[in-house]
Structure 1
Amino acid sequence: MGVEFSKYLQVVPVEAIPGMVVVHLPVHGDNRGWFKENWQREKMLAAGLPDFAPVQNNISFNAIAGTTRGIHAEPWDKYVSVATGRIFGAWVDLREGPSFGNTFTIELDASMAVFVPRGVGNAFQTLEDGTAYVYLVNDHWSAEAQSHYTFLNLADETAAIEWPIPLANAELSDKDRQHPRLKDVVPMAPRRTLVLGAAGQLGLALREAYAGVGHVDFAARAEFDLANPEHHAATNWRDYDTVINAGAYTKVDEAETADGRRDAWAANVTGVALLAKTCTQHGLTLVHVSSDYVFDGTQPLHTEAEPVSPLGVYGQTKAAGEAVVSTVPRHYIVRTSWVIGEGNNFVSTMQNLACRGIKPTVVNDQIGRLTFTKDLAAGIQHLLDAGAEYGIYNLSNGGEPTNWADIAQDVYRNVGRPAEDVVGVTTAAYFHGKEAAQRPLNSALDLTKIVDSGYTPAPQREALRLYLGDHLAGPMHKVSPGIELGS
C-alpha cells in the first residue's frame, strides 16, 4: 500500500478523546519519490492544530512488521507521524476526568499525523518492515520526566484494542508486557495552577474561589519571591499549566521615595520579568493583575486599547510590568481599580469610622468603580475556564461610576449613620501640603470586552451591600494608621 497523494491539509478532532486531532497532510510525489511538510506551524495553526511549541524530535525505527510499543502516557503533548512504512496507532485517554479509558485507533501512513495531548496513552504496531515512527514533543525527555509516565497494558480487556497482528505473534518488550490493567491505573492528574501573592487581598479571594479544587497551589511572598531567581529555579514547572500573579507592590505614595521606588520596580517589573521569562520557556499561561494607575485619568472611560500614560512611579511600574507580560504567548493582563478585599481597605476604614461616630473628609473628584476581590477572582476563573482569547481585559465591578465620597456615604448609610457625616473635598485640597503621588482623576474602566467574553461583574453598590453585610456580622476591622482616606 503506497502513500496517499493529493490530500489537502485538514485537522479533524477525535470525538472520543478531547484535545486529540488527526491531521491529513498534503504529500507531493513524482518518479523520484515524495515530499511533505510534516510540521509547518503557521499553516497548521491556521487549520486548527494547537500551538504546542515542540522542543524535541524523536524517531523510532522498527525493523519488522508487528513491532508493538506502548501504551505510554507522557507528561507532555506529542505530534505523531510516519516517515516510512505504515502503523496501526492506538490511543487511550489516561487523564483524570470523564473521558478516562476512552480509546481511539487509526491506521497511519506518511500522509497522516496525530496530535496527542498530555496524559493520553500512546501505542502503535508496525504494519510493514522498515517503518520509521516520528514524534515531536514539547518537553525534553529525562529520567526524572519518565517517572511521571502513566502506563496501560497493551492487552487490557477494557480498552479492547483489536491489534491487526495478535499480540501473541507480535514483537513486544518484556517491560511493555508488564504494564497494569486499566482498573489499576492511577489517572494522570491535570497540570496545576500556581497562585502567587496568595496572602494578599486578591490571593485570599482566590483561595476561597478555588477551595476544594485539588490542582491549585498557593504561595505567599515568603514562599515564592518573584524577584528571587532561586525560587524560579527551584520550582518544577513541568507540573504547572497556569500561573496567577496576584502579588504586587501597591504603596502608591511610598513608591515616590528612594527606597519605595526601588522596591516597587523590584516587585512590579524585575520580578514580573523573571516570571514572564519562566512562563515563556515552559509554555505556561500567565495571568497578571494590573491597575487603573497605568492611565493619567484624562479619558472618561478607559478601554483596553488606550495607550498607557502613568502619572507616578507606581503606575509606571505597573505599565512596565504589562509590557513585559505582553511578550508571553499565553497571557491575560487583568486591569482593575479600587480593590476591596479582606484586611485594611477604604470600605473597612469607613465602616470603622462610622461605627466610632467620626466625620471624615473624603475626596469627591476621583471617579471610578470599586472592585471586590470576590468578583475579581471570579472573573479570572472565568477567563481561564472559558479559554478566552489572550490579551488585556478590564475588570471591575459594574454599575455607574461614582466617587470616593459617595462610596463613603453609602457605607455610613449602611451602618446607620448620617451620610452628611462624610464631607467631600477635592483631591487638590485633600493633599494640599502633603507628600503624595498623583492620582488619576478618572479610573472608570470600559467593561465591554469582559462582558462580551461571558462574564458580567455585579454592580458595585450591590457588591458593597453584600460586603458590608458580611463584615458587620464579623469582628470590627482595625484601622491602619498609614491608610489615606480617599486614596
Structure 2
Amino acid sequence: MTEYGKALSLVETPIPGLVVLELPVHGDARGWFKENWQREKMTALGLPDFGPVQNNVSFNDAVGTTRGIHAEPWDKWVSVATGRIFGAWVDLREGPSFGAVYTTELDPSRAIFVPRGVGNSYQTLEADTAYTYLVNDHWSPNASYSFLNLADETAAIEWPIPLAEVEISEKDKNHPRLADVTPIPPKRILVLGADGQLGLALREAYAGAAHVEFAGRSGLDVTAPGLRDARRWRDYGAIINAAAYTAVDAAEVSPGRADAWSANAVAVASLAAIATEFAITLVQVSSDYVFDGAKSGAYTEEDPFAPLGVYGQTKAAGDIAAATAPRHYIVRTSWVIGEGKNFVRTMASLAERGVDPKVVDDQIGRLTFTADIAAAIRHLLDSSAPFGTYNVTGEGEAASWADIACAVFAAVGADPERVSGVSTAEYFASATAPVSPRPRNSVLELAKITATGFTPSAWTASLDAYLQVSDRS
C-alpha cells in the first residue's frame, strides 16, 4: 500500500553512493500524484546532479517476475509507477565495498539512486508493476558491463519468493558467481599536457592508478581540429588540463599571441563543451596573471579579472570558458616550480658559479611547487569537493623574487647578500623584445582550498626539500 504524505528525505545505505529517497505522494478519491524526479529539491538533499538522458519503463504482469543482477557503466534513478518490488543491489565496482549488498522494498513513495557499477535487480511483489528508471548515458555495445548470479551464495540475497518458483531469464540464471565477476573499473581520468612540469607531477601523484591516462602534446594536441572525436569521451569521468601556452613575453607578439589564444582559451572552450556534453569533470589550471596585482591584500577566488598582458587575458578567457562546464574545478596558482628550467634552479646555479644576480624586489607572492598542485587536484577529485575555483599556492609569508633568491643562496651555502634587489622597470629596462607586464601582487588567499581538508605545504619547506633533491640529482 503506497504511503501518502511523507516528507521528501534522503536515506544513506551501506553501499557508497546508493541512496534511497522517500517521496511525497499526494492522493485523494481520484488517485495520486508525485514528483518522481525533481532536480532542484533532490540535489539540495545531496542527490548527485546526474543528468539523465533516457527514461525506461519495464512493465511486469505477474508477481514474482525477477530480473538482474546487472551493473552498467552509468547511473540510474529507479522508482515504481504502479505496484511494488523487492529490490537488491550489489556493489560490483572495484574497491573496498565490492560485494556489499543492500535490499529494500520500493513502492510509488520510494525511489533509489544507483551509482555506476552497482548491480541492480528486483522481484515484483504485486501484479501489474511498472518499474521505471532514468539513466544518464545511452546503451552502447562497446561499454563494459558486469553481471552477478541471482543465487550467488556470497551475496546471499533473501528473495521473498524463492528463485525456483519465479520467472527468470536463461541469461540471468547463467551469470557468474561473485568470485568470477569482473569488477567495474572507475571512469578514466585523462591528464592533458602530461609531459610538462605539472603533467610530470600529476604522473607521480597518480602513479600506479590504472584508470588514469596521460597524454602529452604528441598524444593529444588540444589545439588540433577534431578534439570532439579524439576519444570515446563517455568513458571519462575527469579531464585534467595541464596543457597551456606559458611563454608570457612571447605571447605579446605574433605568432605567440595567436598560439596563446589557441591553447589557453579556444582549446579550453572545446574541452568545456566536451565536459558538458558527457558529464565530465573538467580541471583547468589558472594563473595569478588574470589579476593586475593592484589589490593591497591577498586575492580571493571571487575577485574580478583585470589581466595586464596577452597571456593573462588568454588565461582569464580560459577560466570563463571552463566555468561553463557544470562540473569544473579551476585551480588558480602562481610562481610555479617543477621539473626543468626554473627560477629556483637558475638562482642555485648562479650561486654555485659565483654570479651575483640582480633580482626583482617589487613583485610579491608565494612559490608553488607542482607536487602541491597535483596533490590539490587529486584531493578535489577524490573528495568530490564543491565545484568551482580554488586558489592553490605554497603556504606561508609572501616574499619578493629577490627574497626567494636570497633564500636559495642561503640554502645552497652561498651569501644571500650577493643578491641585489631591483625594480621591475629597472630589470627590464634593457630588454630588446616586448615584455609582458607582471602583476605586482600575486598573493592568493588559501582559505577556500583549506576548508576542503587540503593544506598546502609551506613554500619555504618545499624549497629546501626541492633543493636537496636537486643536489642529489
Q: Place the TM-score, normalised by the shorter chain, in its bin.
A: over 0.9
Distance in 2 separating the partners of 1:55 and 1:96 = 25
Report the Cα offset of residue 116 of structure 1.
Answer: 0.6
Aligned counterpart in structure 2 of residue 383 of structure 1, from 370, 380, 383: 380
* CA contact 1:82–1:131 (8 Å) conserved in 2: yes
| Residue 280 (1) aligns with residue 276 (2) | yes
For 2:255, what is the secondary structure of its paired residue? helix
Report the Cα offset of residue 213 of structure 1.
Answer: 2.2
Query: What does residue 55 of structure 1 align with?
Result: 53
Query: What does residue 352 of structure 2 align with?
Result: 355
Cα offsets for 1:69-93 (capped at 9, x unmatched): 1010000110001111111111111
Aligned counterpart in structure 1 of residue 389 of structure 2, from 382, 388, 392: 392
Query: What does residue 191 of structure 1 align with?
Result: 187
Query: What does residue 245 of structure 1 align with?
Result: 241
Aligned counterpart in structure 1 of residue 31 of structure 2, from 30, 33, 52: 33
Query: What does residue 104 of structure 2 align with?
Result: 106
Aligned counterpart in structure 2 of residue 311 of structure 1, from 292, 308, 315: 308
Cα offsets for 1:116-166 (capped at 9, x unmatched): 111110011112222111000010112223xx1100011111111122222
Query: What does residue 206 of structure 2 align with?
Result: 210
For 2:191, what is the secondary structure of its paired residue? strand
Distance in 1 separating the partners of 2:213 and 2:92 = 23
Query: What does residue 294 of structure 1 align with?
Result: 290
Distance in 2 separating the partners of 1:324 and 1:345 = 29
Query: What does residue 319 of structure 2 align with?
Result: 322
* CA contact 1:94–1:121 (8 Å) conserved in 2: yes
* CA contact 2:9–2:45 (8 Å) conserved in 1: yes
User: What's the % identity of the aligned pairs?
Assistant: 64
What TM-score do the two structures reach when normalised by structure 1? 0.94
Distance in 2 separating the partners of 1:380 and 1:460 = 18
Query: What does residue 479 of structure 1 align with?
Result: none
Q: CA RMSD in A?
A: 1.3
Amino acid at match of 2:368: T
Distance in 2 separating the partners of 1:142 and 1:208 = 33
Distance in 1 separating the partners of 2:53 and 2:133 = 11
Query: What does residue 161 of structure 1 align with?
Result: 157
Report the Cα offset of residue 433 of structure 1.
Answer: 4.1
Distance in 1 separating the partners of 2:300 and 2:96 = 40
For 1:261, what is the secondary structure of its paired residue? helix
Amino acid at match of 1:281: E
Query: What does residue 256 of structure 2 align with?
Result: 260
Cα offsets for 1:311-356 (capped at 9, x unmatched): 0000000001111111111211111111000001111111122222
Aligned counterpart in structure 2 of residue 76 of structure 1, from 51, 74, 77: 74
Distance in 2 separating the partners of 1:295 and 1:328 = 22
Amino acid at match of 2:51: A
Amino acid at match of 1:90: A
Structure 1 segments unaligned to the other structure (5+ residues) = 475-487
Amino acid at match of 1:120: V
| Residue 467 (1) aligns with residue 447 (2) | no
Report the Cα offset of residue 470 of structure 1.
Answer: 0.7
What TM-score do the two structures reach when normalised by structure 2? 0.97
| Residue 448 (1) aligns with residue 444 (2) | no
* CA contact 1:227–1:272 (8 Å) conserved in 2: no
For 2:63, what is the secondary structure of its paired residue? coil
Cα offsets for 1:374-429 (capped at 9, x unmatched): 12212222222222221111111111111111211222222222223222211101
Amino acid at match of 1:9: L
For 2:190, what is the secondary structure of its paired residue? strand
Greater mean alpha carbon deviation, residues 183-192 or residues 257-266:
183-192
Query: What does residue 436 of structure 1 align with?
Result: 435
Amino acid at match of 2:209: V
Distance in 1 separating the partners of 2:68 and 2:150 = 7
Distance in 2 separating the partners of 1:376 and 1:37 = 43
Query: What does residue 417 of structure 2 align with?
Result: 420
* CA contact 1:227–1:274 (8 Å) conserved in 2: no
Amino acid at match of 1:21: V
Structure 2 segments unaligned to the other structure (5+ residues) = none
| Residue 366 (1) aligns with residue 363 (2) | yes
Aligned counterpart in structure 2 of residue 219 of structure 1, from 208, 215, 219: 215
Query: What does residue 67 of structure 1 align with?
Result: 65
Amino acid at match of 1:60: S
Amino acid at match of 1:13: E
Moved over 6 A (4+): none
Cα offsets for 1:236-280 (capped at 9, x unmatched): 223221111111101000000121110000000110001111111
* CA contact 2:227–2:270 (8 Å) conserved in 1: no
| Residue 124 (1) aligns with residue 125 (2) | no
Amino acid at match of 1:121: G
Report the Cα offset of residue 229 of structure 1.
Answer: 4.2
